[in-house]
């Protein structure tokens, strides 16, 4: 896992984008890049690292919830395709749910 930009700094990961009616996602979001393409399934290790990292980010910022985690393809459709159809959103969300439930039961 590599970090290129401090989470409090603005990065240009999304480019021109919109989320829930708000334009320019780079101004208010955290970008996470996964190595891969639209057609190759992601690995178990990628899902584990992504869910662990997402859990840490959600713990630091209460406004970031599983429902607000989305792909570049959703915020910049027609221009970006990642994480693509090979990404298993139900699997990822299930891992987040387990982690979120574990955290709230602690």
- Residue 23: φ, ψ to 5°: -85, 165
Closest CA to 57 of 12, 6, 94: 6
CA distance 55 to 59: 6
CA distance 31 to 94: 20
The verdict on whether 33 is a catalytic residue reads yes
Could you say which of 22, 24, 33, 35 is catalytic? 33
Q: At what angle do helices 89-104 and 44-60 cross, to 10 degrees?
A: 50
Catalytic annotation, residues: 33
């Amino acid at each position: 896992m590599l970090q290129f930009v401090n989470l409090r700094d603005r990065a240009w990961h999304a480019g021109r984008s919109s989320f829930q009616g708000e334009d320019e996602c780079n101004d208010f979001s955290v970008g996470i890049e996964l190595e891969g393409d639209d057609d190759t399934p992601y690995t178990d290790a990628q899902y584990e690292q992504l869910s662990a990292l997402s859990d840490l980010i959600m713990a630091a910022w209460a406004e970031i919830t599983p429902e607000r985690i989305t792909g570049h393809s959703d915020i910049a459709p027609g221009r970006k395709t990642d994480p693509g159809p090979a990404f298993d959103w139900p699997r990822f969300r299930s891992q987040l749910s387990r982690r979120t439930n574990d955290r709230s039961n602690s």
